[in-house]
Amino acid sequence: MTGKPKSIGNKGTVPYTAAFLVALLAFAAGAVTYGYVFKVLPSRPGCVQVSVKNPGGQAVPDAKVEIYIAVYGATGEKVDEAITDMGGKVRFCDKFQPNKEYVILVYKSTGEKLWEGFFATNERSTADFPVIVRQEY
């Protein structure tokens, strides 16, 4: 145990910093080619917050958000609808059932459809996982 300390070498591997920078550049290049960014975020139990932003990260106010129960990948009964606030966010509470799938539709204030997607709830009736979807121009 009193011998020389052994060194651990970095043989034939890509430095972590270089790999991180390559991944970051690839993500940034992909993000530039997309339009609006939509997030379905978990919130307090029983609530789901929806955030709508443009490619520059600025909030999109007055976007209409509609949520339906998903029926075999289609839209079923409407759960609720609301308009995003000045921060581009809207929160829906006490409207969801545990472990269910929902369809979400987002429209511009002009009525043009921006995005359609799905999210699921967990046992606490909140969004199961943050979902980020990008809509092309």
Query: How many domains are there within the chain?
Result: 1
Whether 109 maps to a domain, the answer reads yes
CB of 50 closer than 8 Å to CB of 90 = yes
**Model-level pTM?**
0.66
SS3 letters for 26-59? HHHHHHHCCCCEEEEEECCCCEEEEEEECCCCCE
Whether 88 maps to a domain, the answer reads yes
Q: pLDDT tens, 42-94?
A: 667 888 888 888 877 788 899 999 999 998 766 789 999 999 999 988 989 88
Which CATH number covers residue 119?
A: 2.60.40.3580
Q: Among 65, 58, 43, 48, which residue's Cα sits nearest to residue 116?
A: 65
